[in-house]
A = this chain, B = another copy of it.
């Protein structure tokens, strides 16, 4: 499985968590990392043919970004609006991404407890990421469970380092497709008739 990580941070040099993730991913096997801010330049302009060829050469597409105002920085959206074009990602003949996997890798400043009804951010990450989930759906990609790290506003260097192995394990896990996970659970249940009977 080949993984393409598109990183959308306005200044990766000044980042803590996203730089640590980007560096770890850049050293991982079968992972291609792209710093969209560096590639797009100050006008956030992308070479569409290059970007589309890269998408076609990978099986799992990862959007990596810090969560600013409940979404990605503008360079992520600039890339999406330019590269996910009519006839490529949607519309007639626009099935080029169909069957690929799509995964969000995101860090938030606020704590996990705030991303709930009754928390100061009111909504869950799943609710706030629906625009990305639906982008995956329209382009025929399988939306995988996001990897989310909260509380980065007050994280120590040790907190940040500790996220790296779990992030790498999640991103490179070949069995994140929800249908694969369900099938695995059903196989386990089939091996244990007593448990299967208990939930039926």
Residues of A within 8 A of B (CB): 10, 42-44, 68-75, 77-78, 80-81, 84, 120-123, 127-128, 130-132, 134-135, 137-138
A96 → B minimal CB distance (Å)? 16
The chain B residue with its CB closest to the CB of A73 is: B81
Across the interface, which residues of B come within 8 angstroms of A123, CB to CB?
Answer: 130, 134
Top 6 A-B pairs ranked by shortest CB distance? A70-B131, A74-B74, A74-B77, A74-B78, A42-B43, A71-B131
B69 touches A131 (CB 8 A): yes
Across the interface, which residues of B come within 8 angstroms of A42, CB to CB?
Answer: 42-43
A27 → B minimal CB distance (Å)? 29
Say how many copies of this protein the assembly contains. 2
A12 → B minimal CB distance (Å)? 15
Q: Which of B68, B75, B138 contacts A120 (CB 8 A)?
A: B138
A69 touches B73 (CB 8 A): no
Across the interface, which residues of B come within 8 angstroms of A43, CB to CB?
Answer: 42-43
Q: Which of B73, B134, B137 contacts A77 (CB 8 A)?
A: B73
**What are 21 A-B pairs with beta-carbon distances under 8 A?**
A10-B81, A43-B43, A44-B44, A68-B81, A69-B77, A69-B80, A69-B84, A70-B131, A70-B135, A71-B71, A71-B77, A72-B77, A73-B77, A74-B74, A74-B75, A74-B77, A74-B81, A77-B77, A122-B134, A123-B134, A128-B134
A81 CA to B120 CA, complexed, in Å = 19
